[in-house]
Amino acid sequence: MTTVQVLRADRRPATPWLNGGGITREVAGHPAGAGLADFHWRVSLADVAQGGPFSRFEGVDRVITVVEGAGMALTVAGTEHRLADPFRPFAFPGDAETGCELLGGPVVDFNVMTRRGQAAAEVEVADGPRTCTVPADAVVLLVCLDGTAELVAPELRLGRYDAALLTAPGEQQLRVDGRTAVVTIRRGA
């Protein structure tokens, strides 16, 4: 049976960025209590108030998904990528020089970071019922990005930005009314 840890949105403190461009709320990370220099993986939601350069994270891969707002244009290692459609994950190296231009005002983005050699992540966005499988070498983090999501057993309802961390191998039935991120994080990848 899958072990479920509930992570409610209203219990996450907001942390201002050093450059003043926004705030971040950490959803989950490993190891517990790790800082930005020593996490294996980290998942967060960010309120982006203005464009500018992204912080570089050496040896880290990132997947970013716009969940609110008109989107952004990311210039990664000199190539522009327009993220104008919400709920479409975009993967890029966190150690590449990256700049951000907002396309029409502030946005909220969903950010998954994994340290190479420690973890690797696959991010999908579910918009209907599905079975979530937790492999033996992984955890699965479910984050309700819009609407609601429900786990069947144990019965659990997630509101907007609430999350559930599935930490033991097994299957879980998920019902989604809206959009929910399904993040599979493999250890030691």
Residues 133 and 173 in one domain: yes
Confirm whether 4 is domain-assigned: no
Confirm whether 1 is domain-assigned: no
Would you call 36 helix, strand, or coil by DSSP? Answer: coil
With a cut of 50, which residues of the chain have pLDDT below it? 1
Q: What is the dihedral of CA 63, 67, 70, 73, to 10 degrees?
A: 0
Among residues 16, 84, 17, 13, the alpha carbon closest in space to that of 54 is found at 17
Question: In the chain, how many domains are there?
Answer: 2
Residue-level pLDDT at 2:
55
- The domain boundary, picked from 85, 115, 145, lies at 115
- The domain boundary, picked from 94, 115, 136, lies at 115
N-term to C-term CA, the chain: 24
Residues 108 and 43 in one domain: yes
Residue 96 phi/psi, 5° resolution?
Answer: -80, 145
- Domain hosting residue 84, numbered range: 13-115
Residues 109 and 28 in one domain: yes
pTM for this entry = 0.94
Residues 87 and 123 in one domain: no
Residue-level pLDDT at 18:
65
Residues 64 and 123 in one domain: no
Confirm whether 8 is domain-assigned: no
Residue-level pLDDT at 123:
98
Residues 54 and 30 in one domain: yes
Residue with tokens 């399904």, as numbered in its chain? 182
Joined together, the tokens standing for residue 183 give 């993040």
3-state secondary structure 46-110: EEECCCEECCCCCCEEEEEEEEECCCEEEEECCEEEEECCCCCCEEEECCCCEEEEECCCCEEEE
The answer to whether the beta carbons of residues 164 and 154 sit under 8 Å apart is no
pLDDT in tens, 41-79: 999 999 999 999 988 899 999 999 999 999 999 999 999
CATH at residue 140: 2.60.120.10
Q: How far is CA 129 from CA 121, 157, 179, in A?
A: 21, 14, 11
Confirm whether 176 is domain-assigned: yes
Query: What would you measure as the largest C-alpha separation in the chain, in angstroms?
Result: 47
